[in-house]
Structure 1
């Protein structure tokens, strides 16, 4: 599985349908998705999946810079529902991670078929994953190291009765990893059971960027830091750990209990890092500065995603890259 910063053929996104659980917030969420798609399209092609009867709405919202592909989808979380791409001896392939609604927490009949339909459309071989997981549960450095949380994979709601050792073998086989670094995570902390892309990211081989929340929400942070300070990656390097602070809750207004106010769920696209912005000017600038240092030569683009974040996700959750062949 290539690192995210390798060149992309395109970015896939999804147009949340009227069947998605957004209720009256759906128009605002769609506005966030359209703005995000246009921001990424400045740097690389974007293909937005939309239900055939909603494709015209998506085209009007996104404009001509974004290609809209009529494919049935339920919601916007393409990181989890789309294929996760890998390079094999025969070329590019897509791993279908067998999305099951994050352990059956929501029904997603169309999203469960997105990976297969997308791969068929582009003529890319499909590899059924030997376990149930999601793209947001996987983070790689491109040099043999894969990061994952036990809470979202070693969990009976995805992989009943299977041990961590068995699932680790499946991850290595499917994604080409030589070493898996496990974080405990927290089951039930959110709908994903604590995906790793909301906790820690590999910015380059040997460097890990760690989400640093406030004192009231620091359990996973301390767990993850303890793991990283006591392990090495696939190449035997002791990870360099960089903290990424969150915005001040008092400076970004009132939000719901599921609001994901973190910068860690950014996306690396073309010559850019597309990062969340929350309206805390000092914190937005500080996060952009950290990302600029870790991704030299790339433009850091802040995008407001307040309505997507109310659903517990972020920019990374809403995107999935296809590497160049």
Structure 2
């Protein structure tokens, strides 16, 4: 989630601020329980690393939103978008949705029989990319998971349940789980599965997540958590959205040594347009962990004057797609020419996969997209 909020605070940031009192009151206990969740089982020894997203998945994990204090009168529409995403992915691989017990029946009704809804892992919101476990494989049939110690995007939103989701899912799956030595979110980090990461300083090297930690210390913790050896850092955009700029709305790894960046129109010159151009320049001048020069493709972003939504928080990111078994799940926004071009680009970048484009405009008003609400569990 990282579209600018315009003048003042946007809807999600305003509502997050409204929930700060509750979040602060529960913070000490919440973070203490995170440590307890991390002790479910010790991580297995071995060369575990987070694989690139296009490996085969066992299932996709999602979460069901039910909070009117967060979503207000848009909640019903957001639930429809979550259900649409879940049903679409379920055509290609199993989907498990964590729902609170009081809303599990509604989730089952809206998602249908092809989606599994479980009510034993309570949630605060729907952003499973940020709250869920980061699964790792060892190349020999082993699977474990790492938690990134979610703290409500720098204590901006109540998170006493979401803080525990990663460990609880790992326990449900029955895999070893450890807490990473940093606080962050999965959307701030991209991995190529072969040793290279991309990440935004604005989100991770930030006192609201990792106070009194140097960039070098945070980088070392990232590398250890992901089983990687190199981080390509972007400055990002701090303080303009609830996430402090997540990389997965702009830059994605396609294969080891190859990435794609969503580029703004030449006429766009806001902080996010400048950030995207900087990410493209940095990637184009970078090498992967094995020393090979990065190859960088472009995905042309839409014209914000031609999309359906006029909400200033809206995230119109084609790059925030999700890869599942045999398909690319992306969004369309109403700029017909750009939507068509983006679908063609994704088909070219992922030959052999079906490209599904969905209307998720209600979710987009929350500043997020399809990748933000999904988390893959790779086949060991």
- Report if TM-score (shorter chain) is over 0.5: yes
Partner in structure 2 of residue 103 of structure 1: 154
- Structure 1, unaligned runs of 5 or more: none
For the Cα contact (< 8 Å) 2:202–2:238, is it kept in 1? yes
Partner in structure 2 of residue 2 of structure 1: 51
Matched, 1:290 2:369: no
Distance (Å, rounded) in 2 between the aligned partners of 1:106 and 1:144: 32
Distance (Å, rounded) in 2 between the aligned partners of 1:4 and 1:254: 29
**Scaled by the length of structure 2, what TM-score is found?**
0.83
Q: Deviations over 1:254-283 (max 9, x none)?
A: 421110012010000000000111122221
Partner in structure 1 of residue 277 of structure 2: 222
Partner in structure 1 of residue 91 of structure 2: 42
Partner in structure 1 of residue 137 of structure 2: 87
Matched, 1:76 2:129: no
Matched, 1:135 2:135: no
Residue pairs, 1:108-127, within 5 angstroms:
108-127=159-178
Q: Deviations over 1:88-110 (max 9, x none)?
A: 47821110110000001111111
Q: CA deviation at 1:225?
A: 2.1
Distance (Å, rounded) in 1 between the aligned partners of 2:59 and 2:142: 17
Partner in structure 2 of residue 54 of structure 1: 103
Partner in structure 2 of residue 11 of structure 1: 60
Partner in structure 2 of residue 29 of structure 1: 78
Residue pairs, 1:203-222, within 5 angstroms:
203-214=254-265, 215-217=268-270, 218-222=273-277
Q: CA deviation at 1:2?
A: 0.4
Partner in structure 2 of residue 194 of structure 1: 245
Higher mean C-alpha displacement, 167-176 vs 15-24: 15-24
Q: CA deviation at 1:230?
A: 2.2
For the Cα contact (< 8 Å) 1:20–1:74, is it kept in 2? no
Q: How many residues align?
A: 325
For the Cα contact (< 8 Å) 1:2–1:87, is it kept in 2? yes
Q: CA deviation at 1:20?
A: 5.3
Q: CA deviation at 1:72?
A: 0.7
**Scaled by the length of structure 1, what TM-score is found?**
0.97
- Structure 2, unaligned runs of 5 or more: 1-49
Matched, 1:64 2:117: no
Q: Deviations over 1:214-260 (max 9, x none)?
A: 32332102221221132211121211111111122232234211100
Matched, 1:272 2:323: no
Partner in structure 2 of residue 155 of structure 1: 206
